[in-house]
Structure 1
Amino acid sequence: MVAADNLQKMPKDTTFNLAAYLKERQKLCETALDKSIPIIYPEKIYESMRYSLLAGGKRLRPILCLAACEMIGGTIDMAMPTACAVEMIHTMSLIHDDLPAMDNDDYRRGQLTNHKVYGEDIAILAGDGLLAYAFELVAMQTPESVARERVLQVIARLGKALGAAGLVGGQVVDLDSEGKSDTSLETLNFIHNHKTAALLEAAVVCGGMVAGASAEDLQRLSRYSQNIGLAFQIIDDILDVTATQEQLGKTAGKDLIAQKVTYPSLWGIEESRAKAQELVESACIELDTFGELAQPLQALAHFITSRNH
């Protein structure tokens, strides 16, 4: 048996293998998502829903949800229904965003967009189906070990992140800003704090809610996720300029074609990268109080600014 005073002197293993962590968590999320929507009659709508939901991607939002839950002291099983729900809501937003009435894109995650395969009518309904099922999943599949009051809080938070106070509101202002070269930084921040960061924030905060996080810890998670959400969008804007269609898995240069004001168009690429890095560092500081338990969330924050697709 090691004496307590000797134990304190032993070096701690502070290394964190993000690649292994992502691979393991992506596999868990893929399995859960695959099981969540079986194909039944009418097959077409379930096939369409699964086509986009299971098209790959980083699964960043559900992984963030799981990581937040575990950092607070919860388990993967407690948070998985919420994690899957967040990914369903995100997928819905992508299906609808790609429609001709919105961004009119032909490719997403390296394959044809949903409406190009199933038609605009089924694509709209597939998005609607995923959205409705996301809330059903949280309500019905969250383990009984999670207090029902927490489940209700999660449902309310997801609804707010999705609606006019969140993603939908951001998309409206984004559409209104197309072709307007005088779009201000304030408006640009509004768009992306709502269109991008709101759902990402909900993923993190809801993971904490499921685990019973205190009000103070939920505030820390909220500030962390707001920062990484904005950093995520800045990097997306940079990649739209610098990456190829093959790297992005979707049409490159769309922002320029749509004459959208972006962070690189306001700041330039190098300053944009620096701003994103500052946001990530601020996000990580918010979690310092959790010590080693925060390593996954802090590593994921840095991953956001280092990605090239």
Structure 2
Amino acid sequence: MPVDIGIFLPDAADVEIREATYHAVDAELDSIWSGDHLANGVPVLDGMLTLATAAAVTECIDIGFAVLLPALRPHVCAAKQIATLQHLTGGDRLHLGIGVGDHQSGWDAVGVDPTTRGRRTDEFLRLLPSLLSGEPTALPHGPVVRLAPPVAPPPVWIGGSSPAALRRAARFGDGWFADLHGASDLRAKAARLRELAAEHGRSAPRLATVIHAALTDRPDPGLAERCARRLAATFGMSVEVARRVVVAGTPAQAAEQLAGYAAAGVEKVAVAVDGDWHRGCDLLGQVRQLLNPTPRPKCP
């Protein structure tokens, strides 16, 4: 199966999201993605509204969260937002990545104890199917609610690589969204996911990954090392690990590296491009064409 290649929309407040969406469509990418951050004092846009704006200007590209943090919100509010986005986008374009976030995700700002974020996320995932379907749903320590209009549930991709995240993916997820993993690491985690899913009588979750890429139109021998060092500094990881997970080079070189992920069973790749976003988007479109020469349907 060809791997789906998508790009994270720029989240800076000075970027025109509608224009960026058109640019991703013109590059013939398969999907556009957003994260979910409060980021006090940092000028980033709300992910839900960003995706709603992007989805409103074109019907020929998928949209997705990598990842939404539902524990930042009351369960019913998060479910209502998801149901509305699913309804407005036609019911077949939204891919719902779900994660628990970290201690810097803005819990104090919303009055949530960060040590409860895993439990709250599991509660939300347990309630989400009935909330989206419009069934009467008893909220924990609260009333019975019924949301309308009902919608079909979008595919749920569980993010995170901890043992708890893998258990969550096996129990609730249609897929697992990895980040900062090499292809060999993904194979090992996929085997564990199959074991965990079997314990719940479920099929193994599908695989997706977030990739951090530095793309160039001409060979640059030092590019991968520079990108790995930036990645290590940003995420507090060793440069050695960063070297294993970064994708860098020309479109042909990047396609060769991403082919390893496809061989490991990855179906979707959400790419955060390093450097100039528009140029990175164009080069990523070339990567997509090398990996999957079948053109996307033209917009009406």
TM above 0.5, one fold? no
Identify, as 1 or 2, the structure richer in strand: 2
Identify, as 1 or 2, the structure richer in helix: 1
TM-score, L = length of structure 1 = 0.34
TM-score, L = length of structure 2 = 0.35
